[in-house]
């Protein structure tokens, strides 16, 4: 009989659940928008769109609309963007994750005191772009060892260092170590969110114990890609899918132990569908085996 292990930490984290719930709570009302996709999951974004919640991709696009309700997603937005949206007449519903909001407050406060801000994270990530937008002066963004080694700001300026919430903890420590050795006066604040770390370590543990691992998440989701890489490292039969449709069920017919995890923006119903199918497939097999066994006697 098949053993299916579903990760307890699979799917929405607290911040994403909160943002999605807020969007569904406003669905059906007149002129509701999200500033950027509410999560990296096409299924949820399309479902919200069908309920009247439209995605606005830029300030320019927002300028073409005549007000309404604008939901700020869990990644947050810059102070300037929020102010511009207010000036355009939008009512702001701020679904920025409280953990991200805390980073906005830190960088705003420290940069206001004259500290230079260093963000450990990816410059291309919307969360980092939003954090940058709360600094009084443009921050330095460091993602790689090379960037940390080449970092040489004004030695007389005090520094405040924060992290993108989803950054890898070991890499964060390594980069901080490189920067600290340079002898600057640094206030280092580890702002990595535990939800990511917990999801990754549970996925690593499960992938190391199963014959096949399924990772569910949107194509654009960097945290799902990261989960996939971690699992693939432990289990070569690791599959990255968006929904059950992407799964070649035949591949799993002869597999005993299957693990399932999902990225932070994967809705529960998609995870449940995959889980149920995998479990039922396992039971069907055992029924056939039972039948075969009973015919032999
Ligand atoms: Fe918030 Fe952590 Fe999720 S920062 S959006 S609870 S990954």
Cα of 16 vs centre of ligand 1, distance in Å, is 7
Determine the Cα–Cα distance for residues 172 and 188; give it in Å rounded to an integer: 11
Residue 254 above 60 pLDDT?
yes
Q: What is the DSSP letter of 139?
A: P
What pLDDT digit, counting tens, does each position of 92-146 carry? 999 999 999 999 999 999 999 999 999 999 999 999 999 999 999 999 999 999 9
Determine the Cα–Cα distance for residues 55 and 24; give it in Å rounded to an integer: 13
Residue 230 above 90 pLDDT?
yes
Average pLDDT over residues 242-251: 91
Average pLDDT over residues 174-192: 92
- Residue pair 240/224 in contact (Cβ under 8 Å)? The answer is yes
Structural domains of the chain, ranges and CATH numbers in brackets: 3-11+195-296 (3.40.1010.20), 14-97 (3.40.50.11270), 99-192 (3.40.1010.20)
Determine the Cα–Cα distance for residues 39 and 126; give it in Å rounded to an integer: 11
Residue 286 above 60 pLDDT?
no
Contact 131 CB / ligand 1 (< 6 Å) = no
Edge-to-edge order in the sheet of strand 90-94 = 53-56, 32-35, 68-72, 90-94
Residue 257 above 70 pLDDT?
yes
Is 127 part of the annotated catalytic residue set? yes
What pLDDT digit, counting tens, does each position of 26-40 carry? 998 989 999 999 987
Range 193-216 burial, b when 16+ CB lie within 10 A, else e: bebbeebbebbbebbeebbbbbbb
How many residues make up the chain in this entry? 297
Please tell me the predicted confidence (pLDDT) of residue 175.
96
- Residue 290: pLDDT band (50, 70, 90) is low
Q: What is the pTM of this model?
A: 0.80
* Nearest residue by C-alpha to atom 2 in ligand 1: 193
Please tell me the predicted confidence (pLDDT) of residue 116.
95
- Residue 249: pLDDT band (50, 70, 90) is confident
Please tell me the predicted confidence (pLDDT) of residue 295.
58
Cα of 192 vs centre of ligand 1, distance in Å, is 9
Sign of CA dihedral 204, 37, 44, 102: positive
Pocket test for ligand 1, best of 19, 74, 101, 131 (most atoms within 8 A of CB): 74
Residue 42 above 90 pLDDT?
no
Average pLDDT over residues 271-292: 74
Cα of 169 vs centre of ligand 1, distance in Å, is 15
Please tell me the predicted confidence (pLDDT) of residue 250.
87
């Amino acid at each position: 009989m098949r053993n299916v292990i579903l990760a307890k930490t699979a799917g929405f984290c607290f911040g994403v659940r909160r943002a999605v719930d807020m969007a569904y709570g406003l669905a059906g009302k007149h002129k509701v928008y999200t500033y950027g996709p509410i999560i990296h999951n096409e299924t949820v974004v399309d479902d919200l769109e069908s309920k009247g919640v439209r995605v606005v991709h830029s300030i320019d696009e927002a300028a073409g609309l005549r007000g309404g309700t604008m939901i700020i997603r869990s990644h947050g937005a810059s102070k300037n963007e929020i102010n511009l949206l207010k000036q355009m007449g939008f009512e702001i519903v701020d679904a920025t994750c409280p953990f991200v909001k805390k980073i906005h407050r830190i960088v705003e406060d420290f940069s206001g005191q004259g500290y230079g801000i260093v963000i450990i994270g990816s410059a291309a990530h919307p969360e980092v772009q939003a954090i940058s937008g709360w600094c009084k002066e443009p921050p330095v963004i460091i993602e790689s060892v090379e960037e940390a080694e080449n970092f040489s700001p004004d030695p007389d300026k005090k520094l405040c260092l924060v992290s993108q919430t989803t950054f890898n903890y070991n890499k964060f420590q390594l980069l901080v170590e490189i920067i600290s050795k340079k002898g600057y006066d640094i206030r280092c604040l580890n702002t990595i969110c535990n939800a990511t770390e917990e999801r990754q370590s549970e996925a690593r543990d499960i992938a190391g114990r199963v014959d096949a691992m399924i990772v569910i998440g949107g194509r654009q989701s960097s945290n799902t890609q990261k989960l996939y890489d971690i699992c693939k490292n432990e289990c070569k039969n690791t599959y990255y899918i968006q929904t059950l449709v992407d799964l070649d069920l035949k591949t799993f017919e002869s597999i005993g132990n299957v693990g399932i995890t999902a990225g932070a923006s994967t809705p529960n119903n998609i995870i449940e569908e995959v889980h149920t199918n995998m479990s039922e497939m396992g039971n069907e097999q055992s029924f056939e085996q039972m039948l075969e066994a009973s015919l032999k006697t």
